[in-house]
């Protein structure tokens, strides 16, 4: 039996909601103020919380912040009860982690529909997280171990031969670079893992997706894309391999998200092609969409491998070293979803791979 906590200082509303929930077969508990509500939540760990926004002493926002800051309750679905809600209030709630708003006055059908939706999305999210954990259990330990082993090995080397190295600045520089490269690799792995996990959770909250879209800014692609692309290729020492055939377009999105999409796609293009092989970026406008194709002339992928693209999946690992956790395309797809974008992969094994993304444009020139 699902447990639902109702927090509202209005006795009539609180008792009406509790009565409806009990009639529908839910186990309930209630509190007439925010402080008592937080205590009940931590003690009984409800499956869902319904909370009024405006209450004396401890507001609904403070209750939500306390709930999200506790590891035992941080993932509990949370529905706000409120009067007329302004966009600013909704954004504040979304930033704190609210799942939904129910505007007073509401009827029984609206209340039950909101609860059912929250439970369905929470269960779907938990299933996705479990799938993620299963994929991680086989892949992530190796991926973490590789850069960590390098870091530990070079650190031990410095400790053991510190006196000898003091006389050889060139050797110190080489070891320092190796340590730096391993640390960067580990940092990128952790950042991508956390981003992917966060995107999975955000998929279950359309309000949060809309918040990101509303936070977007206009981006002129012909100016910003080359800078972003060169930044990635410089990491591989392959700036001279970059070839650009770009048109102008205006996108509306968070700049860091576009940078992440390009970085991950170009990172794969560099890994799966040889130094000196060209990497082509070409863009065009089709039906009010900006289409960017990234072509590398490397080992390519089979149709079966393309069909299996997903988080933490890698191919031919026994033949080819693959740094990173195979997260690139999965993160790209989820970021594109936020902006109503698309992803297409075409490849001929041992010849080339063309990855094309498309995004809605504002004003194309």
pLDDT in tens, 18-35: 999 999 999 999 999 999
Q: Of 170, 204, 238, which residue sits at a domain end?
A: 204
Q: CATH number of the domain that 11 lies in? A: 3.40.50.2300
User: Cα angle vertex 270, ends 139, 260, to 5°?
Assistant: 70
Do both 75 and 198 map to the same domain?
Answer: no
Q: Is 316 left (phi over 0), alpha (psi -120 to 50) or beta?
A: left
pTM given for the model: 0.56
Classified as helix, coil or strand, 258 is helix
| Predicted local distance difference test score (pLDDT) of residue 208 | 66
Cβ neighbours of 32 (radius 10 Å): 15
Per-residue model confidence as pLDDT tens digits over 102-112: 888 888 998 99
Same domain, 72 and 154: no
**Residue 38 CA, distance from chain mean position:** 28
Q: Is residue 121 in a domain?
A: no
Is the link from the previous residue into 188 a cis peptide, with omega within 30 of 0?
no
CA angle 39, 44, 50 (to 5 degrees): 75
Judged against a pLDDT cut of 70, whether residue 139 lies above it is answered with: no
Q: Do residues 309 and 321 lie in contact, with contact meaning Cβ atoms separated by under 8 Å?
A: no
Q: Which of 165, 188, 204 is a domain's end point? A: 204
Pairing relationship of beta strands 100-103 and 78-82 according to DSSP bridges? parallel
Q: Give the tens place of pLDDT for each residue, 208-266.
A: 666 676 778 899 999 999 999 999 999 899 999 999 999 999 999 889 999 999 999 99
Q: Which of 158, 182, 204 is the last residue of a domain?
A: 204
Q: For residue 349, give the nearest of 290, 308, 298 by alpha carbon.
A: 298
What average pLDDT does range 288-317 have in this prediction? 72
Handedness of CA 306, 308, 313, 318 (dihedral sign): negative
pLDDT at residue 247 in the model: 94
| 77 in Cβ contact with 122 (< 8 Å) | yes
In contact, 64 and 97? CB cutoff 8 Å: yes
Instruction: Give pairs for 139-145: CB < 8 Å, separation 24+.
Output: 139/312, 139/314, 139/325, 139/326, 140/193, 140/312, 140/325, 143/189, 143/324, 143/325, 144/186, 144/189
Instruction: Please tell me whether residues 199 and 326 are part of one structural domain.
Output: no
In a domain, 115, yes or no: no
* Beta-carbon count within 10 A of 217 CB: 9
**Residue 151, domain member (yes or no):** yes
pLDDT of 311 reads: 43
Q: Give yes or no for a contact between 335 and 356, defined as CB atoms under 8 angstroms apart.
A: no
Report the pLDDT value the prediction gives residue 122, as an integer from 0 to 100: 75
Q: Is residue 316 a part of any domain in this protein?
A: yes
The average pLDDT across 154-174 equals 78
Which of 186, 118, 197 shows the shortest CA–CA distance to 154?
Answer: 186
**pLDDT at residue number 358:** 95
Residues 167, 254 within the same domain: no
Q: How confident is the model at residue 153, as a pLDDT?
A: 76
- What element of type H or E holds 3? strand 3-7
Nearest to 40 by CA among 73, 71, 79: 73
CB count in 10 Å sphere of residue 235: 16
Structural domain for 245, as ranges: 212-360
Distance CA 251, CA 221 (A): 7
Cα–Cα separations (whole angstroms), residue 338 to 15, 42, 77: 39, 33, 21
Residue 224 sits in the same domain as residue 198: no
Question: Residue 296 pLDDT > 80, yes or no?
Answer: yes
CA-to-CA separations, 148 to 54, 182, 184, 196, 286, in angstroms, rounded = 49, 7, 11, 21, 45
How many folded domains does the chain comprise?
A: 3
């Amino acid at each position: 039996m699902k447990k639902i906590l109702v927090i509202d200082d209005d006795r009539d509303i609180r008792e009406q909601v509790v009565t409806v929930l009990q009639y529908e077969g839910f186990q309930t508990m209630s509190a007439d103020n925010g402080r008592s509500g937080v205590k009940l939540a931590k003690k009984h760990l409800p499956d869902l919380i319904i909370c009024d926004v405006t209450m004396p002493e401890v507001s609904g926002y403070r209750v939500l912040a306390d709930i999200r800051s506790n590891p035992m309750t941080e993932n509990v679905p949370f529905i706000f009860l409120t009067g007329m809600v302004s966009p600013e209030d909704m954004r504040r709630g979304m930033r704190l982690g609210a799942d939904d708003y129910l505007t007073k006055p509401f009827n029984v059908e609206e209340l039950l529909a909101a609860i059912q939706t929250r439970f369905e999305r929470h269960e779907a999210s938990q299933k996705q997280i479990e799938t993620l954990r299963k994929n991680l259990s086989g892949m992530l330990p190796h991926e973490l171990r590789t850069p960590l082993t390098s870091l530990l090995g070079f650190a031990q080397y410095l400790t053991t031969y510190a006196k000898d190295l003091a006389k050889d600045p060139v050797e110190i520089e080489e070891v320092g670079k190796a340590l730096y490269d391993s640390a960067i690799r580990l940092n990128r792995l952790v950042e991508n893992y956390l981003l992917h996990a966060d995107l999975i959770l955000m998929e279950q909250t359309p309000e949060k997706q809309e918040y990101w879209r509303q936070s977007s800014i206009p981006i002129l692609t012909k100016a910003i894309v080359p800078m972003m692309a060169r930044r990635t290729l410089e990491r591989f020492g392959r700036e001279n391999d970059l070839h650009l055939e770009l048109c102008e377009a205006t996108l509306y999105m968070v700049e860091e998200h576009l940078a992440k999409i390009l970085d991950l796609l170009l990172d794969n293009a560099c890994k799966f092609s040889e130094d000196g092989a060209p990497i082509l970026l070409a863009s065009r406008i089709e039906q009010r969409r900006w289409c960017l194709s990234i072509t590398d002339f490397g080992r390519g992928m089979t149709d079966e491998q393309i069909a299996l693209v997903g988080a933490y999946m890698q191919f031919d690992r026994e033949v080819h070293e693959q740094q990173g956790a195979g997260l690139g395309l999965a993160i790209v797809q989820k970021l594109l979803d936020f902006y109503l974008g698309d992803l297409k992969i075409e490849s001929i094994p041992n010849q080339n791979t063309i990855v094309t993304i498309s995004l809605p444009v504002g004003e194309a020139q």
